[in-house]
């Protein structure tokens, strides 16, 4: 029997506490669901996956356990737990998964809507913020992080679009700062010697709604935030107003040339908008203004750049090609995403070292970090 659920409460109420609960799918959805169910006193017996599936989240998998739970492939699933609740946490190939589970004798299969996962992240974030003493009743929230105070537009008082993007970005930026790094998918923007310092000049490529820009500003940096998407820039402005004169917003994309070039809007998420179409063919094409970092630094007469962060959906290499002089002259710390294109890690490294051979480069999570001593 397949049971559909629209909310997390529907799912919780349908689970018989006397039957084991198994999560199908080793990934972010499974992890966030596991945390919420266990906070509601529902124990997870195991994670399962199809035999041909590759586990991308290697940091959560060790010695036959995933997220500290037993992990099985379907063909290895012990018979004694086939009479259990199986919750499908993936979206692709659901029909094949359901058929396989049925053949194995699983009689209680649960399918949940994607909005349930957003609800789970919201529940976890609210608990973390309340534990930190944050008042969630106001339009803006303020989070004490050591000597810094991170101020943001409250996602629980804003519209759905802002809240959805906020929760997606928060997994890698805000959750770890609040003490929960279990749900990271891409990793932090700071690691080892690559950190934002007070008085740093920061360039934020792909600022989105401004979580990283706000974080850098809260540490006393001045931020130049680049975001070409008009629907997102409005939220970026809302957050930037909380840091007067610290976050300068540029409604442009950073690239290897200055001018106007095609930009592709994803129908799924503003976080997927890109100068490249990548693998999708349903993007809407518009044209946006672009500028190279070298041209921008010269036009603003900046005498230093201390930190560059980039998450621009595969256009990171284009950004670096337009920043060669800045890398050579100022050697800013670099925090750059490497998961958009298969050869990102190698290509980005080559461009950086060609511009400045003194850079030391290492990789962590799904990011390249670089600095010059």
For helices 160-170 and 230-240, give the axis angle rounded to 10 degrees.
Answer: 80
pLDDT recorded at residue 231: 82
Distance separating alpha carbons of residues 58 and 15, to the nearest angstrom? 29
High-pLDDT (> 70) share of the chain, %: 91
Q: What is the mean pLDDT of the chain?
A: 90
Q: Read off the pLDDT of residues 269-287 as tens digits, 9 standing for 90 and up.
A: 555 555 555 455 666 777 7
Q: Read off the pLDDT of residues 286-325 as tens digits, 9 standing for 90 and up.
A: 778 999 999 999 999 999 999 999 999 889 999 999 999 9
Q: Read off the pLDDT of residues 114-127 as tens digits, 9 standing for 90 and up.
A: 899 999 999 999 99
pLDDT recorded at residue 101: 82
3-state secondary structure of 345: helix
**Which one is predicted more confidently, 56 or 34?**
34
Are 273 and 231 in contact, with CB atoms under 8 Å apart?
no
Domains, the chain, in order of start with CATH, read 2-112 (3.40.50.20), 186-371 (3.40.50.150)
Phi then psi for residue 359, to 5 deg, are: -65, 140
pTM, full prediction = 0.89
């Amino acid at each position: 029997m397949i049971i559909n659920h629209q909310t997390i409460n529907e799912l919780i109420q349908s689970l018989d506490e006397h039957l084991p609960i198994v999560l199908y799918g080793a990934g972010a959805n499974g992890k966030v669901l596991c945390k919420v169910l266990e906070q509601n006193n529902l124990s997870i017996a195991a994670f399962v996956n199809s035999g041909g599936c590759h586990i991308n989240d290697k940091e959560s998998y060790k010695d036959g356990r995933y997220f500290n739970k037993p992990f099985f492939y379907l063909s290895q699933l012990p018979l004694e737990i086939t009479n259990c609740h199986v919750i499908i946490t993936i979206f692709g190939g659901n029909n094949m998964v359901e058929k396989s589970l049925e053949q194995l004798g699983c009689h209680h299969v649960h399918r949940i809507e994607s909005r349930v996962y957003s609800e789970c992240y919201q529940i976890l974030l609210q608990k973390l913020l309340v534990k930190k003493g944050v008042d969630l009743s106001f339009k803006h929230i303020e989070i004490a992080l050591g000597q810094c105070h991170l101020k943001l537009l409250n996602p629980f008082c804003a519209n759905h679009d802002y809240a959805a993007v906020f929760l997606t970005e928060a997994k890698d930026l805000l959750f770890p700062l609040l003490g929960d790094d279990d749900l990271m998918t891409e990793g932090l923007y700071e690691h080892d010697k690559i950190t934002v310092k007070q008085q740093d000049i920061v360039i934020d490529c792909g600022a989105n709604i401004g979580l990283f820009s706000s974080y850098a500003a809260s540490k006393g940096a001045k931020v130049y935030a680049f975001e070409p998407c008009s629907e997102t820039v409005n939220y970026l402005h809302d957050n930037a107003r909380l840091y007067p004169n610290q976050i300068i917003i540029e409604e442009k994309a950073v690239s290897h040339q200055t001018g106007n070039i095609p930009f592709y809007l994803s129908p799924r998420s503003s976080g997927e908008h890109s100068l490249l179409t990548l693998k999708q063919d349903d993007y809407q094409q518009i044209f946006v203004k672009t500028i190279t970092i070298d041209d921008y630094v010269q036009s603003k007469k900046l005498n230093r750049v201390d930190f560059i962060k980039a998450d621009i959906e595969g256009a990171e290499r284009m950004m670096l090609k337009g920043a060669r002089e800045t890398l050579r002259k100022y050697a800013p710390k670099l925090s750059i995403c490497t998961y958009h294109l298969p050869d990102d890690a190698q290509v980005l490294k080559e461009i950086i070292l060609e511009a400045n051979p003194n850079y030391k480069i290492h990789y962590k999570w799904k990011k390249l970090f670089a600095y010059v001593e």
